[in-house]
Amino acid sequence: MSKRFKLSSEDWLIEEKGFHPHKQGVYETLFTLGNGYLGVRGSLEENPHGSYRGVYIAGVFDKSEGMVPEIVKAPGWIDLSVWVGDQKFAVNMCKVLSHKRILDMKKGVLHRITRLKDKKGRIIRLETRRVVFAHQVRGAVIDFDVTPENFSGEIKVISALNGDVTNTGYYPRERIKHLNLVKMERGHDHIYLEVETRDEKVKIGMAASLVFNNPVLGHVKVNRIYGEKFSEEVVFDATKKKTYCFTKWVTTFASREGYERQLKSSAVDMLHDMIYDGLDYHLDKHLLWRCKEWDISDVKIKGDRRSQKGLRFNIYHLIVAKPHHDQTVSLAAKFLTGEGYKGHAFWDTEIFMLPFYVFTFPEDARNLLMYRYYTLKGALENAKDLGYKGAKYAWESAGTGRETTPSFGYRPDGTKDKIFTGEEEHHIVSDVIYGLYKYVEASGDTDFLYNYGAEMVFQTARFWLSRVEKRRDRYEIRKTIGPDEFHEHVDNNAFTNYLALWNLSYAEMLYKKMKKEVPSQLNLLAKKLHLKKDEVDRMKLVSKILYFPYDQKTELIEQFEGYFSLDNVVVTELNKHGLPEWPKGIEGSTVHRTQLLKQADVVLLLYLFLDRFSAKLKKLNYDYYEPRTMHKSSLSPCIYAIMGLEVGDHKKAYNYFLKTSYIDLVDANKNTEDGIHGAAMGGAWMTAIHGFAGMKVKQGTLCFEPWLPKRWKELDFTIFWKGNLMRIRITHNRVDLKLVEGKDKSVPVNVYGKTVKVKHGSFTTLKAKKKY
């Protein structure tokens, strides 16, 4: 075994102790490896009963018999098994003497050690080390050892590429077939499998080679075909207690990236190149890449190991999910870790995930926004389908930006429920623009803004002009759904209306800015969009008189018109994970009659526009909505954590942070097996940095007003700000800042209300106003 596989320290490790069949799906999600191009669930190599293995390629969608286009499960290459005669050594077919798996988050390596005993008393020890390469997104490897502990005899190792894969359907045990077999080809030292999606005709080519690293004299290696499963098989005479070492190399290519004519040669040539370079060479490249990513993105917490591990787990999944290779793909709500939500991108991307990338990997943040630019055509068609103008970004978006939200959801008994989110949850339009705005604010990337972003801003503002209705002396947005999806078909949702009026105002401001700074570029864009000055003037007018449901006497923002007249029910009990239980007499079918919320709605609005609302208003609204929020979405606890810190509810804020960062590690929502909760991953980082570190942007200036939990001795992290990499170190007594690298000699930063110039070299230190 290469020394490069040595485990990192304990605070970088997520461990599975013992084999628990009913938890397979959860661990498969938690142990997903990836690089933004590939997502590979952490399934066991022998594919035991109850496993749901999955390999997913960013951007490969297909509809087939599904209701909507969905992420396609690619052929499986985590297909390894060890046989003695007719006995397969697997966790579901042998006695498990011991079993342990460890995800090394720092290195991006999944380790496994299992000892299995068959009915004849023969014991085999299996050790595997799995890597999806960070430096070469189309390459992966499984390095593994087989040891017969108490017998000698013939052993067979089978390594396969399995094209017989299907996606989950809408009913239990229903399966959707997306792939047709194109070809299988034998090489003298490899196998090649090619498939094609049924509707979109995207081809996927995989090449693999099983290398016997300490071959036995007389061993036999052959290729076998089992339907759509193509395998390499090595048979050898094994000696008791001797360890036999193998390496399985795999490459994956898809024709959507331009490899239509060279699919096979690209996959096979890269496979040969990787084998020639050797395992240590590629591990070094992979580890260097991961090390650089962690150097930028790690958030170090001293004094609280639970918080440290939970936060690192969230950052790990944000790192392995980012599609740094391609501007035409986005982040799905479940990343590439499962088939929950069909691999679609939601508002989660811009509101909950993008902030992490904006401040740690700004180029990747730009790529995510470019996806929205490339799918602008689909957004224009969505608006037209609904009878509106401009661009309406899809509530659920796949490859083209067309709306892919299913019209109905099916129950196990065959009955169906109408799904209205695709038709009515329109705040996604401005959520995208808000993400764009925050990226430009932090990066200063006016090149992106003027060349790409402006078109998105004007077309979404145009949508709102056609979406609003004039009633009496004001404009309104009727029949909509806000973030709180317990209440549908509501009028004037505060969150939606405020984001819309902000979007309109931003469009008018951007028009003036471009007219002043890049008039010729504005003229070209206005000509392309047929954008007239009077239309921009109307954007300004509508933004001024679009109704916002706010009571000046109580300073409470009404979530939507009529909300305060609903049954005033509050949460009274919490479950073992600290999440609300349904109040007695209330269930899913009756909750819409009450003031109970699915997730943060008004409180989320206050977070997005912290400097636009008074401290008193924020506290009053937090206190009102917090006991009425059910947190039935993973997006919710992080917002209450940040806003809890904002209004002084520190104890609840810390608890909400733990709920967010451990939502998948403890399977709090009982659906982790469907995939990681990507928004919670981003939300955990947001809570640490925007919450505890108190990092905010006010009037274009980076500001810090931290509050650390008592057990946190120090918070240490780096961020990018307008092209400069800055390190921040926070304790209960002080804040230290310095520039690590960047274009500027110094950067103004406001800490505890005082503006200082942060420079390269030594730290600039500011004392806390008071100890807390």
Q: What is the pLDDT of residues 67-82, one digit of tens each?
A: 999 999 999 999 999 9
CB-based contacts of 530, cutoff 8 Å, min separation 6: none
pLDDT (mean) for 641-670: 96
Q: Are residues 152 and 264 in the same domain?
A: yes
Q: In angstroms, rounded to a whole number, what is the distance separating the alpha carbons of residues 662 and 311?
A: 8
Q: In angstroms, rounded to a whole number, what is the distance separating the alpha carbons of residues 224 and 519?
A: 66
pLDDT (mean) for 335-359: 97
Indicate the DSSP class of residue 401.
Answer: S
- Which residue in this structure is represented by tokens 């048979």? 235
Q: Has residue 345 got a pLDDT over 60?
A: yes
Indicate the DSSP class of residue 106.
Answer: T
Q: Give me the sign of the Cα torsion angle 110, 115, 118, 120.
A: positive
pLDDT at position 770 is 60
Pairing between strand 734-741 and 203-212?
Answer: unpaired
Which burial class, exposed, middle or buried, applies to 603 when counting CB atoms under 10 A from its CB (0-12, 13-18, 19+)? Answer: buried
- Which residue in this structure is represented by tokens 């962690």? 294
Q: In angstroms, rounded to a whole number, what is the distance separating the alpha carbons of residues 598 and 585?
A: 17
Least Cα distance to 11 among 337, 309, 296, 336 occurs for 309
Taking only the tens place, the pLDDT of each residue in 401-432 is 999 999 888 776 777 889 999 999 999 999 99
> What's the distance, CA 207 to chain centroid?
28
Whether residue 208 is contained in a domain is answered as: yes
Q: Give me the sign of the Cα torsion angle 57, 311, 129, 289.
A: positive
Using alpha carbons only, give the angle 483, 487, 488 rounded to the nearest 5 degrees.
Answer: 90
Whether residue 384 is contained in a domain is answered as: yes
- Identify whether the C-beta of residue 255 lies closer than 8 Å to the C-beta of residue 263: yes
Whether residue 513 is contained in a domain is answered as: yes
Q: Are residues 286 and 379 in the same domain?
A: no
Residue 740 has which token pair? 């690590």
Choose the final residue of a domain: 274, 295, 316: 295
Question: With pLDDT > 70 as the criterion, what percentage of the chain qualifies?
Answer: 99
Q: Are residues 117 and 198 in the same domain?
A: yes
DSSP string, 187-251: -SS-EEEEEEETTT--EEEEEEEEEESSPPTT-EEEEEEETTEEEEEEEEEE-TT--EEEEEEEE
Whether residue 737 is contained in a domain is answered as: no
Q: Are residues 42 and 186 in the same domain?
A: yes
Q: Has residue 689 got a pLDDT over 60?
A: yes
CB-based contacts of 156, cutoff 8 Å, min separation 6: 82, 83, 84, 233, 234, 235
- Domain count for the chain, please give it: 2
Residue 518 has which token pair? 């890049």
Q: Has residue 588 got a pLDDT over 80?
A: no
**Of 45, 403, 485, 626, which residue is the catalytic one?**
485
pLDDT at position 250 is 98
Q: In angstroms, rounded to a whole number, what is the distance separating the alpha carbons of residues 267 and 251?
A: 6
pLDDT (mean) for 286-302: 98
Domain ranges, residue 222: 12-295
Q: Are residues 271 and 367 in the same domain?
A: no
Q: The domain that contains 385 carries what CATH number?
A: 1.50.10.10
Residue 504 has which token pair? 């309109």
Q: What is the mean pLDDT of the chain?
A: 96
pLDDT at position 251 is 98
Q: Are residues 366 and 447 in the same domain?
A: yes
DSSP string, 587-618: -TTTGGGBS-BSS-SHHHHHHHTGGGS-HHHH
Q: In angstroms, rounded to a whole number, what is the distance separating the alpha carbons of residues 23 and 44?
A: 12
Q: The domain that contains 100 carries what CATH number?
A: 2.70.98.40
Rounded to whole angstroms, the maximal C-alpha distance in the chain is 90
- Identify whether the C-beta of residue 130 lies closer than 8 Å to the C-beta of residue 142: yes
pLDDT (mean) for 358-365: 98
Q: In angstroms, rounded to a whole number, what is the distance separating the alpha carbons of residues 354 and 369?
A: 9
pLDDT (mean) for 248-275: 94
Secondary structure, 3-state, 299-355: CEEECCHHHHHHHHHHHHHHHHHCCCCCCCCCCCCCCCCCCHHHHCECCHHHHHHHH
Annotation marks residue 508 as catalytic: no
Whether residue 608 is contained in a domain is answered as: no
> What's the distance, CA 631 to chain centroid?
19
CA dihedral 280, 281, 287, 289 (to 10 degrees): -170
Whether residue 597 is contained in a domain is answered as: no
Q: Has residue 380 got a pLDDT over 80?
A: yes
DSSP string, 620-657: HHHHHHGGGB---STTHHHHHHHHHHHHT-HHHHHHHH
Q: Are residues 269 and 380 in the same domain?
A: no
Q: Are residues 259 and 400 in the same domain?
A: no
- Amino acid of residue 574: L
Radius of gyration of the chain (CA): 27
- Which residue in this structure is represented by tokens 């806000």? 482
Q: Are residues 388 and 477 in the same domain?
A: yes
Choose the final residue of a domain: 529, 548, 567: 548
Q: In angstroms, rounded to a whole number, what is the distance separating the alpha carbons of residues 392 and 372?
A: 11
Q: Are residues 55 and 177 in the same domain?
A: yes
Q: Are residues 383 and 263 in the same domain?
A: no
Backbone angles phi, psi at 188, to 5 degrees: -70, -20
Residue 209 has which token pair? 């080679």
Q: Has residue 219 got a pLDDT over 90?
A: yes
Choose the final residue of a domain: 251, 273, 295: 295
Q: In angstroms, rounded to a whole number, what is the distance separating the alpha carbons of residues 662 and 209?
A: 38
Whether residue 393 is contained in a domain is answered as: yes
Whether residue 303 is contained in a domain is answered as: no
Backbone angles phi, psi at 109, to 5 degrees: -130, 135
pLDDT at position 577 is 87
Q: Are residues 421 and 502 in the same domain?
A: yes
- Does the pTM surpass 0.95? The reply is yes
Q: Has residue 771 got a pLDDT over 60?
A: no
- Identify whether the C-beta of residue 235 lies closer than 8 Å to the C-beta of residue 219: yes
Name 538's bridge partners.
none
Say how many C-beta atoms besides its own lie within 10 A of residue 522's C-beta: 20
* H/E segment holding residue 442: helix 428-443
pLDDT (mean) for 231-244: 97
